[in-house]
Structure 1
Amino acid sequence: MKTIYLVRHGETYMNLYTKMQGWSDTPLTERGIEGAKKLGKALSNVPFDIAITSDLKRASDTCKIIVSENVNAKKLKIIPTPYFREQFYGYLEGLDSEMAWRMAGSPHGYQHSDDMFVNEKIDTIRNWCKDADPFGQAESAKEYWTRLNNGFK
């Protein structure tokens, strides 16, 4: 049986500035780089067979930093793919995060993201983001999971 380690990318400037960041990409901050190095050291003796990452730079950079510390670093293959990107938020990308969550949640009675995330399923919120996108390009829960599951296949 294989063990899969799922790692989120390190902190980016969009994270620092509390902006919505799905497919929009910004570099890792120093804190993000240091966090990836720390995790790489903590996982250094786990003999990874393969490293699959989102093709976005923030995720690929995080992956490369972690892999560089790994016992199998010299023979480890890194595979970037769009299948493992975060949800695409369409028009909401780049907006202040709280404003974007409010755009998605307020038609459903939520004025703050904290309440929404405590009381609603993430897939419901994914669908609300799609509904809030005036261009209709944000991913619905079904679109998101179809893409992600294709990556696992």
Structure 2
Amino acid sequence: MTGDARVHFVRHAETLFNVNGQLQGWCDSPLTERGERQAAALGERMRELPLAAAFTSDLTRTRTTTAAALAGHPGIEPVPMTELREWHLGGWEGKPNAHLWTPVFAEYGYEYEPGSPAWPAMTADGRETVIDTVRRLDPLGRAESAADVRARLTSGLTRIVDVAREADGDVLVVTHGMVLGTLLRQLAPGHLVKAGFPNCGTVTVTWTEGALAVGEIVDTGAFSAA
């Protein structure tokens, strides 16, 4: 990479499954009323930026979030990409979070609880090992492997970065919470997300004279009305 570029990576707004504590890798659920407010707040923040292009996971929750994010940029047509989907959780899809995370955490010697402080230790070497644990424990054998996720993200990121390098402005990418940690590590090997991504959380990646910098996570959704 030689040219300058700036890409804003965003997690989708709050969904019904988020509130219900259900797993939603490749399956979907609608935004909640709070999620709609978060997405609207994201749109107001994005309105101030010189966006030139946008990409989104092709799932409904990300496409809905993207539409709101681009309210101030009606001339931009977002590009849906299967490569930006969340991890595919196989037989765990749609089930309560604990059904998956209880046995996964046990594999690492921890007891699962929402927001567990054990997560940073479990993912100290990246989230790839956790992806493979999910796959190994999947009762239906349909979950993705780390190699699967890396391959599709590499393909998607190559396309996004190529556009960002040529765009006359910033690029918006709306995707998912778990895959964002994997995606950022693809871009910046060794990078670890210090905290989880809140709904409509945003992180900006810049390339300046060939040097890459990953910004801090901004809770864009927190700017919405309660």
TM-score, normalization by structure 2: 0.63
Secondary structure of 2:55's aligned partner: strand
Corresponding residue for 1:77?
A: 77
Cα distance in structure 1, aligned partners of 2:118 and 2:57 = 27
Corresponding residue for 1:145?
A: 150
Greater fraction of residues in strand:
2
After superposition, residues 103-122 of structure 1 pair within 5 angstroms as 103-112=103-112, 114-121=116-123, 122=127
Cα distance in structure 2, aligned partners of 1:49 and 1:30 = 29
1:28 aligns with 2:31: yes
1:5-56 deviation digits (Å, cap 9, x = unpaired): 0010000000000111110101100111100111110121212111100000
Name stretches of at least 5 consecutive residues in structure 1 with no aligned partner: none
Cα distance in structure 2, aligned partners of 1:21 and 1:36 = 19
1:54 aligns with 2:20: no
1:13 aligns with 2:4: no
Asked which structure has the greater RCO (Cα within 8 Å, sep 6+), the reply is: 2
Structure 1 vs Structure 2: percent identity of aligned residues? 31
1:132 counterpart letter in structure 2? L
Corresponding residue for 2:207?
A: none
> Where does structure 1 differ by over 6 angstroms across 4 or more consecutive aligned residues?
none
Cα distance in structure 1, aligned partners of 2:121 and 2:18 = 23
2:62 counterpart letter in structure 1? A
2:133 counterpart letter in structure 1? W
The alpha-carbon deviation at position 106 of structure 1 amounts to 1.9
Number of equivalent positions:
150
Secondary structure of 1:4's aligned partner: strand
The alpha-carbon deviation at position 74 of structure 1 amounts to 2.8
Native 8 Å contact 1:104 1:131 kept in 2: no
1:77-109 deviation digits (Å, cap 9, x = unpaired): 210111101100001111111221112232332
Instruction: Report the aligned-residue RMSD.
Output: 1.3
